[in-house]
Amino acid sequence: MDRRIPSVRDDLAGVEPYVSPQRPAKYRMNVNESPYPPPEAVLDEAFAAVRAAEVNRYPVRDADDLHRAVAERLGRPPETVWVANGSNEVFQHLFLAFGGPGRRALVFEPTYSLHTLIPRITATEVTIRPRTNSYEIDLDAALDAIRAEKPDVVLICSPNNPTGNAEAPGTVRALCESAPGFVVVDEAYIEFAPAGASVLELLEEFPNLVVVRTFSKAWRIAGARLGYLSAHPDVVDGLRRVRLPYHLSAFTQALGVAALRYADDALKHVAAIVGERNRIASGLAARGIRAHPSDSNFVLFEVDDPAGVWNALLSRGVLVRNYSGARALERCLRVTAGLPEETDAFLSAIDEAVKP
């Protein structure tokens, strides 16, 4: 019998899998991780909790302690919180529950590529509108797009990845007032942004607003794969329908609870990273290289030969992210801020890679 492997869905034929290049390098400054490990107290408590757990049994299905800890941190009721394996799984749950065939998402590019990819893999139609030359959302154009497309979900990344700029809360407010469906704001980098940049407070006013965050950046536990959202309780009820059973492991739950218990220690390096971000930006500007304003833990900058500069930096042990293949980012590279010695190495390598 001739057995054939079924072909991938027709609507996925042109979808490229997400790829973040992982190369051996002394200075890994390409994926916006924290270079600082979590506090020892966080690991000690998490490991102790796992040792005490019955790991031959399934973990707590609803991760009650973790949900309560996140809710307390946000000052929100526990029933408005949803936790998953990284913010990407949060987005997947959102689109499995509220996207799908016959529904549409509106995305403003350039932005985080998963904001387009995840809707597409859940068979959600994606409409794309461009950002301005300064990578902001053009509010008038966005409102026109909402009226024309009537999207079920509007996706915003603030601070935006890979450009670094935070959207004005007034822009989000106007979109929430106009959108017929959800407005989802990805605040993965909000801890690095100035005070007042978050739209979390708007949740009390707009039941169609969803705010997504992650433990992967400022909280220093990217390896745990832990993200969360806060939204109206009806949204959270919908997400329960699409999660896999026991989707949060005992270790993930324990590590999240411990990180929140030691929040002050876990986040104490944010100011230092912001300082290095500013030092990178000013160092690039002093060298005549355009660095875009950033409210995150990275800097997007422009060079004449991004592929050549990327290779030259890598040959000197510095790995950054090359965005030159993306629309409106053709001259751009992105570098993560971290340790002072990483900034030193990057600026030294730039001096050799970019000749006057």
Question: pLDDT value at position 1?
Answer: 56
86 lies in the same domain as 227: yes
Which residues of the chain have a pLDDT value below 70?
1-2, 356
204 lies in the same domain as 331: no
73 lies in the same domain as 201: yes
Which amino acid does the sequence have at 21?
P
Question: pLDDT value at position 307?
Answer: 96
Domain extent, residue 245, equals 40-261
Residue 207 near residue 23, CB atoms below 8 Å: no
Question: pLDDT value at position 252?
Answer: 96
Residue 98 near residue 152, CB atoms below 8 Å: yes
Instruction: Using DSSP bridges, classify how beta strands 332-336 and 298-302 pair: parallel, antiparallel or unpaired.
Output: antiparallel
- The CATH number given to whatever domain includes residue 254 is 3.40.640.10
79 lies in the same domain as 212: yes
Q: What is the model's pTM? A: 0.96
190 lies in the same domain as 289: no
Single out the residue of 194, 230, 206 nearest to residue 87, CA to CA.
Answer: 230
Question: pLDDT value at position 4?
Answer: 81
pLDDT in tens, 162-214: 999 999 999 999 999 999 999 999 999 999 999 999 999 999 999 999 999 99
46 lies in the same domain as 30: no
Question: pLDDT value at position 182?
Answer: 97
Whether residue 237 is contained in a domain is answered as: yes
150 lies in the same domain as 208: yes
Torsion angle (degrees, nearest 10) of CA 218, 73, 231, 224:
40
Helices (H), 241-339: 250-261, 263-266, 270-286, 306-315
Whether residue 5 is contained in a domain is answered as: no
- The CATH number given to whatever domain includes residue 287 is 3.90.1150.10
Question: pLDDT value at position 144?
Answer: 98
Examine the fold and report which residue of 202, 236, 261 is the final residue of a domain before the chain moves on. Answer: 261
**Interatomic CA distance for residues 194 and 196, integer angstroms:** 6
Give one DSSP letter per residue of 98-146, joined into a string: H-STT-EEEEEESS-THHHHHHHHTT-EEEEEE--TTS---HHHHHHHH
Question: pLDDT value at position 15?
Answer: 85
Whether residue 73 is contained in a domain is answered as: yes
**Interatomic CA distance for residues 141 and 345, integer angstroms:** 41
Examine the fold and report which residue of 243, 261, 279 is the final residue of a domain before the chain moves on. Answer: 261
Question: pLDDT value at position 239?
Answer: 98
Q: Tokens 């995150």, residue?
A: 296
Domain count along the chain: 2
172 lies in the same domain as 300: no
82 lies in the same domain as 133: yes
